[in-house]
A and B are shown apart, each in its own frame.
Chain A
Amino acid sequence: MIYRSLFPRDVLSELDRLQRELQQTFHFSPSIRGIARGGFPAMNVGGTPQSVEIYAFAPGIDPATLEVQIEKGVLTVAGERKLPPAAEAATVHIDERFAGRFRRVVTLPDDVDANAVDARYRDGVLRISIARRQSAQPRRINIQ
């Protein structure tokens, strides 16, 4: 016999609870601007003691049309992805790729140097490397 609760919980609220628990398990702490997963371009952020590295997965875009801006500790990547329109007589069977204008925003750590930024585009990935300020880098202190 299959056990059934007398008062089954609503499926959606169960999913909500599951998501909350997952977030707690994996320590996702969404920033004030949210995590906006599934946005375009997809982004990976990482860091070393010397720099902060941001990878934006934006394939098939002319790098000259990409707008990268740092203002008040916030990095913005914006642009437009234009896809060739399908011919009139053609049938579109699957349409999943992103098209149109996009803008994504990343809050940077306090110790980055907005004047030491390096951005390159390769294989459809925009890599932005921002150096951390010298004074903020860990230093070994000699004990006399």
Chain B
Amino acid sequence: MSDTTPVKKQSVADDAALLPPVDVIEDASGITLYADLPGVPKDRLHLQIEADTLTIEGEIDLEMPGGMEASHAEVSLPRYRRVFTLSKELDASKVTAEFSEGVLKLSIPKAEHAQPRKIEVRVT
């Protein structure tokens, strides 16, 4: 395999990003993930599921007056990114997402066949 073309790959994944805090809660029907992404408008949030990899990315967009100089910065990068590996029993095609006031809520249901079933054991 050779790659001679000097094309510089310029993707978002190459840039440094902040790790947003998350809560992951599982119940019988699936997994709910909450992520804190303050400063990200709805149109700058990117969610992607590829194979079994879930990527959450968001770009921070703050209104800033011209000529502002930062004197103290705890949020020091303009984007968030976090990647999770999903397990097989989750149904990636039925993921639903809500995003409001900087909080993302992702619901990832379990596939039908993976939902718990009560198995009756008959004693003879």
Residues of A within 8 A of B (CB): 35, 37, 41-51, 53, 55, 57-61, 83, 86-87, 89-98, 121-125, 127, 129
Contact = CB atoms under 8 A, between A and B. Distances in A.
Nearest to B40: A123
Q: Please name the 7 residue pairs, one residue from A and one from B, whose CB atoms are nearest each other, closest first.
A: A124-B102, A59-B102, A124-B38, A60-B103, A96-B21, A57-B38, A59-B38
Contact of B39 (A43, A53, A86, A125): A125
B25 A60 contact: no
Interface stretch (B2-10, B57-65, B88-96, B106-114): B57-65
Contacts of A41: 38
Contacts of B39: 55, 57, 123-125
Interface in B46-74: 61-74
A44 B70 contact: yes
Contacts of A59: 36-38, 101-103
B72 A97 contact: no
B22 A61 contact: no
A26 to B, nearest CB: 11
Question: Chain B binding site: helix, strand, loop or mixed by DSSP?
Answer: loop
Contacts of B36: 59-60, 97-98, 124
Contacts of B22: 94, 96-97
A53 B62 CA distance: 11
Nearest to B74: A42
A28 B101 CA distance: 31
Contact of A83 (B23, B61, B100): B23
Contact of B73 (A44, A61, A125): A44
B1 interface: no
Given A86-B25, A124-B38, 4 more contacts: A35-B72, A46-B64, A57-B39, A125-B38
B27 interface: yes
Given A53-B65, A97-B22, A46 B38 contact: no
A22 to B, nearest CB: 14
A48 B65 contact: yes
Contacts of A123: 38-41, 61, 101-102
A49 B21 contact: no
Contact of A89 (B28, B65, B66): B28
